[in-house]
Structure 1
Amino acid sequence: KLRKLASLVQSKYGEFLYKHLILFPSVEEFGGSLSVEAITDFVDNGGYVLVAGRSNPRDALMELAFKCEFEVDEENAAVIDHLNYDISGSEDHTLVGASPENLINSEIVIGKKSVGPLLYRGTGLLADMENPLVLLRVVFTDCSYVPDAPINEYPHTRTLLIAALQARNNATVVFSGSLYFFSVSTVQRAQDENLHNKSDNQDMATFISKWVFGGNGVRVRSDKHLKTRLERKKIPPVAYTITEPVVNETLAADGKWQPFQVNDIQLEFVRIDPFVRTTLSHIGGGRFRPYSRSPMCMASKFKVDYDRIGYAHLYSTTQVSVQPPTLTQYERFIPAYPYYVSTYSMMVGNAFFSFLR
């Protein structure tokens, strides 16, 4: 929708009208009821946002970036690279040909890394150094500065091109300092003899957009726990007994909710701290299953806490009870062998001494 429309609203009667929001603004402020506060409230309620700016970011965009823990460079500043630039661009070398080697190493976010350069014309970003979702960073030859201004101080090299924020409620915000990044054109980088028919921006922008809008992710479809002897009956027990073999089966999925295949999901048997921690074995079809024995008597829970870069935080718990064995479950003869030995030895002794008389 156009920003001048008065009907530009995100929510009505306390419910959001959209799940995804794309902001490619070139205005001083948003129109309608759209504002920085409305967008941050949208994120707080689990919304997905994709934002792209340019070399002259507006106040609304800079404020939104600050709310999302990013910092946009000063007005009219641009990312400059005098070595890795597109030779068909302007002489100020602000049309940077970013290398795909500087992309985040996460296939869920960017898919398979591209081989061609990525065009970028825009301003730089700053983010927390501990932010794991830096999607595209600069090389040491890049800097962010006002092209026409004299360089009076050394520009830092901590500039980021594209970064993301994933909130605790799995809401995702992607910030790009370049609207030009979401375009397709022929590119030939300096220091590169190959002329590429097109940059890899289209594929990369498509994959990043798919990720930020929840097209790639993981969820728990079902979670079951069984006693091994009841596994065929698929009946979850009311309670477990100490040292009883337990099987917990989790079915996860991703993409179009296809079976998820990974080998680093762990299951914890938790009371206050984990008493048992074991890796889930993938048994095919997106099913993961560990075998363990129930620990001491307690009211505890099975917990799967899967938190990986690029994935939604996967958290699943199931509370179970563990009780001591009942009287009928104790073994009768073998644990009482001292009593039986003493009894029979006394009988044999009495018979022996009676015979001696």
Structure 2
Amino acid sequence: MKSFIISLIIACILVSNVFGAVGGKRVLIIVDDLSMVKSHSQFFSTLEGKGYKIEYHSAGDKVELEKYGDFFYDHLILFAPTSDSLSITSSDVLKFIDGGNNVFIAASNGVISDTVRDIATECGIEIEDDKTSVFDHFNYDKQQSEQNLIVADQYIQDAPIILQGLQTPVLFKGVGHSIRQNPLNYAVLTGSSTAYSRKASGVATKLMGKKVGLVSSLQARNNARVTFAGSIDMFSNKFFTSKLGKDTVGNREFAESLLSWTLQERGILRSSNLSIKKISTESNSTVAPEILTIKDEIEYSITVEEFVKDQWVPYVGQLELEIIMLDPYIRTFIKGNKDGEYKSIIKLPDVYGVFTFEATIQKPGYGNLDTFVRQPIRPFRHDSYERFIPSAFPYYAACFSMIVGVFVFSIVFLFHQEPKKAL
């Protein structure tokens, strides 16, 4: 019994460490009205089935995200786009994101609160005006008379890990937005070439075509993830069970893939087993093996793993390595093997100083990996240099010829006697 308890404690510690590194399990859900918990129950059940600890609150409840720098939640789902009575402010949410936590926001084509607008703006997303909808007269649900219930299938292609290759179209009814040209922002779902944004008064805006953002995300530099969807209805039970003729829509699969990526269930990298080993000491044999000197040959190795389905697996890709002292002296790319090991043999520069060995992976949809270590590179010792350098043979010859010349001159000068002159 005692051994069982000890094993259970160790397992809990390991599980907590894994989830602590990949976002945690505490989720705060804020809705306009608690009746939304029932109308969107299938969406929320995906979280409950994965063991997340969910806490529901209506928009009017007093909620704190952190106190004295300690966050009470790991993820925030904000399904309260119209309420101005939120107890949390945009600065609270931005501080929550700066702390490395994740946020999932859904809006509607009605009145959008200033809090939601401010959060979206800070994340590089510009939402259209209130009471603005996305229309598409060619790609909409033909079973409905409303042409703002559009059928969208323009998914992101540059970062397939976000939606895991989803192809089934989804139903969307909501407000559009535009995103900034920023490598941190991803247009996850956009309108087709015939889509446009229009106000309730019938006046079309300047946002049209594939520039109409429907769902967008932000991968922050601290690996926090923020997702903004312009439709709260696309995550409802009604849309999950809707059909386009005889075909089902992909709202459920879309929501599950998008939510799991936002909550850092995949696309997270970590490194381990960093090693810098000197493999050549012929030129400076008097220096200890652990000390790096100029022009040494070294083997740089590191292991990279990816978080997939609640476990760490080897990540096979490409890693960029830079050896920097103010400016990069060496920049190279290393390919990993099937075990996630990245190895390369590098010759150090003929410059001494304190260098930074920085390994980075920046791949769309993945968390940023930046592993660095500082290592001094020393010059040769006075007794480590080569005794005779072939390129200096002319100087050696000049030196020895001068010595021989002085020696001969000295002999001649000392022992040469001038002949006596006759009187």
**What is the TM-score when the length of structure 1 is the normalising length?**
0.82
Partner amino acid, structure 1, of 2:380: P
Per-residue displacement from partner, 1:253-284 (whole Å, max 9, x unpaired)?
A: 11232110003x11111112111112113233
How does 1:1-357 map onto structure 2 within 5 Å?
1-3=56-58, 6-31=61-86, 33-59=87-113, 60-89=115-144, 91-99=145-153, 101-112=154-165, 114-130=166-182, 132-146=185-199, 149-151=201-203, 156-157=208-209, 158-183=211-236, 184-188=240-244, 195-196=246-247, 198-216=248-266, 217-228=268-279, 238-255=290-307, 256-263=311-318, 265-296=319-350, 297-332=352-387
Distance 1:169 1:155 in 2: 31
Root-mean-square deviation (CA), in Å? 2.8
Cα distance 1:28–1:153, how it changes in 2: closer, same or farther (>3 A)?
closer
Cα distance 1:26–1:305, how it changes in 2: closer, same or farther (>3 A)?
closer
Is residue 53–residue 178 contact of structure 1 (8 Å, CA) maintained in 2? Answer: yes
- Which stretch of the first structure deviates more once superposed, 16-25 or 114-123? 114-123
Shift of 1:20: 0.7
Partner amino acid, structure 2, of 1:315: D
Partner of 1:354: none
Distance 1:86 1:324 in 2: 72
Distance 2:197 2:74 in 1: 33
Identity of aligned residues (%): 25
Is residue 29–residue 35 contact of structure 1 (8 Å, CA) maintained in 2? Answer: no
Distance 1:203 1:152 in 2: 32
Structure of higher CA gyration radius: 2
Distance 2:178 2:388 in 1: 73
Distance 1:291 1:14 in 2: 44
Secondary structure, counterpart of 1:305 in structure 2: strand
Q: Which runs of 5 or more residues in structure 1 are unaligned?
A: 189-193, 231-235, 351-357
Per-residue displacement from partner, 1:187-226 (whole Å, max 9, x unpaired)?
A: 32xxxxx731x21222222122121122221122332211
Q: Which runs of 5 or more residues in structure 2 are unaligned?
A: 1-55, 282-287, 409-423
Partner amino acid, structure 2, of 1:282: G
Distance 1:26 1:303 in 2: 42
**What is the TM-score when the length of structure 2 is the normalising length?**
0.70
Partner of 2:14: none
Distance 1:130 1:29 in 2: 30
Cα distance 1:322–1:215, how it changes in 2: closer, same or farther (>3 A)?
same
Partner amino acid, structure 1, of 2:175: T
Cα distance 1:4–1:241, how it changes in 2: closer, same or farther (>3 A)?
closer
Distance 2:364 2:325 in 1: 27
Cα distance 1:56–1:331, how it changes in 2: closer, same or farther (>3 A)?
same
Cα distance 1:14–1:332, how it changes in 2: closer, same or farther (>3 A)?
closer
